[in-house]
Amino acid sequence: MTLFALAEELSIAMAPLHDHYGAWAVVTGASDGIGRAIARQLAADGLNLVLVARRRERLEALGAELSAGCGIEVRPLSIDLALPEGPERLLSATEELEVGLLVAAAGFGSAGRFLDADRESQLAMVDLNCRAVAALAHGFGQRLVARGRGALVLFSSLLAFQGVPLAANYAATKAYVQSLGEGLRHELAPAGVTVLVAAPGPVHTGFAARAAMRLNRAQQPEEVARETLAALARGGTVLPGVLPRLLGCLLRLLPRRARVRLMGSVMAGLVWPREP
Ligand SMILES: NC(=O)c1ccc[n+]([C@@H]2O[C@H](COP(=O)([O-])OP(=O)(O)OC[C@H]3O[C@@H](n4cnc5c(N)ncnc54)[C@H](OP(=O)(O)O)[C@@H]3O)[C@@H](O)[C@H]2O)c1
């Protein structure tokens, strides 16, 4: 990294997020978990917010809390991003806004054998975790490049770095996001746009209940949100939390086949009810 690039990164990291990524941030998955925690931290930094998820009442309640508490403007948008028209609806609803930051946190997973799972729900997972992320990264990416600054934040997972028995489809969707983000980071950097991929380990959110998993030693979403936003200026990949970072380093030392087997045994302990 050149001295100029380092100075630029430091000045972005030290300025309030609003100065570099304002005036508007779009947060998907804002009705719960990590997305909601990120929305709260962005609001405290003075960014106006477009809050996206399916559960309208939760978005409206959060919007009312944040606009009263932080004096920002909030637009809650109830959109099912797994539907083919979902991402386009979001892109057209935000056309007139000066969006400087997209946080694409909407996503879900499942635990258990792929062949035992409901097919439609597994395909909806691909639609939400991959198709919607690609459409939004493309649409907002074009706007940020035209503006000459801004950032995309995508959510992969600690499961994204190898195949994972008992979460095979979910891990595959997150491998897609990880790879998309890594490639885009280099494509968009010359235009002044940062791409950050966050790859959390277990986090206490609505995720585990929807995935039928029981998580041990999980982090709080506020902690993940804080570490993710702290890594925004430098981009690349962040593994929030000491334990996930340690696990990530250890996993990298193993051959891929051994990693797959190890992650399969870890997953077997998380599936709820337990695998026979
Ligand atoms: N929690 C973990 O252990 C963990 C670990 C690694 C990675 N991640 C990733 O982190 C991201 C955030 O997950 P989380 O833990 O915060 O999960 P969460 O608490 O279950 O929140 C998921 C969010 O996505 C929204 N969502 C789900 N389906 C949607 C749809 N079809 N259209 C629009 N929005 C939808 C949900 O809102 P509605 O239900 O209101 O639509 C909710 O706001 C996800 O991409 C997840 O894969 C989570």
| pLDDT tens per residue across span 105-162 | 999 999 999 999 999 999 999 999 999 999 999 999 999 999 999 999 999 999 999 9
Pocket test for ligand 1, best of 108, 224, 270 (most atoms within 8 A of CB): 108
Looking from the CA of residue 106, the nearest atom of ligand 1 is 24
Looking from the CA of residue 215, the nearest atom of ligand 1 is 3
Contacts of 83-88 with C-beta under 8 Å, sequence gap 24+, read 83/127, 84/127, 86/132, 87/131, 87/132, 87/135, 87/136, 87/139, 88/135
Q: How far is CA 99 from CA 27, 50, 74, 140, 227, in A?
A: 11, 9, 13, 8, 22
**How many folded domains does the chain comprise?**
1
Q: What is the pLDDT of residue 8?
A: 60
Looking from the CA of residue 37, the nearest atom of ligand 1 is 16
* Mean pLDDT estimate for the chain: 94
Task: Please report whether residue 179 resides in a domain.
Answer: yes
Q: Is the pLDDT of residue 1 over 60?
A: no
Among 36, 174, 185, 259, the one annotated catalytic: 174
Cα 139 from Cα 88, distance rounded (Å):
9
Closest CA to 64 of 78, 79, 43, 81: 43
The torsion angles phi and psi of 108, rounded to 5 degrees, stand at -150, 165
Task: Please report whether residue 101 resides in a domain.
Answer: yes
Per-state percent for the chain, helix, strand, coil, to nearest 5: 55, 15, 30
Looking from the CA of residue 104, the nearest atom of ligand 1 is 45
Q: What is the pLDDT of residue 17?
A: 77
Task: Please report whether residue 208 resides in a domain.
Answer: yes
The DSSP 8-state label assigned to residue 99 in this structure reads: E
Range of the domain at 53: 3-270
Distance 106 CA to ligand 1 centre (A): 4
31-35, 119-123, 143-147, 272-276: least confident range: 272-276
Assign 16 a pLDDT band (cuts: 50, 70, 90).
Answer: low
Task: Please report whether residue 276 resides in a domain.
Answer: no
Range 80-93 average pLDDT: 98
Assign 7 a pLDDT band (cuts: 50, 70, 90).
Answer: low
Range 50-75 average pLDDT: 98
For the chain, what percent of residues have pLDDT higher than 70?
Answer: 93
Q: What is the pLDDT of residue 9?
A: 61
Q: Is the pLDDT of residue 276 over 60?
A: no
Is residue 174 flagged as an active site residue?
A: yes
CATH number of the domain that residue 32 is part of: 3.40.50.720
Q: What is the pLDDT of residue 11?
A: 58
Q: What is the pLDDT of residue 19?
A: 79
Distance 253 CA to ligand 1 centre (A): 30
Q: Is the pLDDT of residue 266 over 60?
A: yes
Task: Please report whether residue 275 resides in a domain.
Answer: no
Q: Is the pLDDT of residue 4 over 60?
A: no
14: CB partners within 8 A, 6+ apart: none
Q: What is the pLDDT of residue 176?
A: 99
Task: Please report whether residue 108 resides in a domain.
Answer: yes
| 7, containing H or E segment | helix 3-14
Across the strands, what pairs with 194?
151
Q: What is the pLDDT of residue 215?
A: 86
Is residue 212 flagged as an active site residue?
A: no
Q: Using one digit for the tens of pLDDT, what is the confidence trace for 179-215? A: 999 999 999 999 999 999 999 999 999 999 999 898 8
Q: What is the pLDDT of residue 30?
A: 98
Q: What residues line ligand 1, using a CB cutoff of 6 Å? A: 28-35, 53-55, 80-82, 105-109, 128, 155, 157, 200, 202-203, 205-207, 210
Q: Hey, what are 107's tokens?
A: 């996503």
Q: Hey, what are 109's tokens?
A: 């997973």
Q: Is the pLDDT of residue 14 over 70?
A: no
Helix axes 256-270, 242-253, angle to 10 degrees: 140
Q: Is the pLDDT of residue 82 over 90?
A: yes
Q: Is the pLDDT of residue 104 over 80?
A: yes
